[in-house]
Amino acid sequence: MKRSMQQGFTLIELMIVVAIIGILAAVALPAYQDYTVRAKNSEVILAASGCRTSITETIQSAAVSLPADNGWGCESSVPTSQYVASVATTSTGVITVTSQNIPNTGNPVTTGGTVQLIPTKDSAGAQFANSDVSLTVYKWTCGGGTTSITPKFLPGSCRGN
């Protein structure tokens, strides 16, 4: 009498596979959700890039004083995209972008927040005064504003540097 060979998987083998897939999904899903929020926030940073260029050029070429609040010519008080509610500037060149429709603490109920881009005039991080004209912007510091976005949801280039 010839024994037949076993074919297929046993129940225990299938249960082990399902458990492994469950563990991988439990780890991957939160990481993916964080990634999607970070991708949405990168659009918020991109909305400030036009202002960043305008402010840099104006600071370098201004003769008397810098423009007043929201006088740089790049602001918007109406939503400019699905994720950007508004773009505002101060007389010292600080750009504040307010987001919308983005969870800012991992909680989908709490949406929005602000991101600030701050022009600095030296390596110590000193901000511009209204009378600082014809200077070069040393670097832009980026980070959460007054209603801050959780740092883990900001793009890597905008986590306080």
Amino acid residing at 89: T
Q: What is the pLDDT of residues 131-159, one digit of tens each?
A: 777 888 888 888 766 657 777 888 878 87
Tokens at residue 11, please? 């129940």
- Going by C-beta distance under 8 Å and a sequence separation of 6 or more, which residues neighbour residue 39? none
Strand order in the sheet with 95-103: 84-89, 95-103, 111-120, 139-144
Total-model pTM: 0.78
- Of 1-5, 22-26, 128-132, which range is least confident? 1-5
Q: What are phi and psi of 115, to 5 degrees?
A: -125, 135
Amino acid residing at 147: T
Q: Count other Cβ atoms within 10 Å, centred on residue 86.
A: 17
Q: What is the pLDDT of residues 54-110, one digit of tens each?
A: 888 888 887 788 888 888 888 887 777 888 888 999 988 899 988 888 876 656 555
Of the pLDDT bands very low, low, confident and very high (cuts 50, 70, 90), residue 23 is very high
Q: Count other Cβ atoms within 10 Å, centred on residue 74.
A: 20
Tokens at residue 23, please? 């563990």
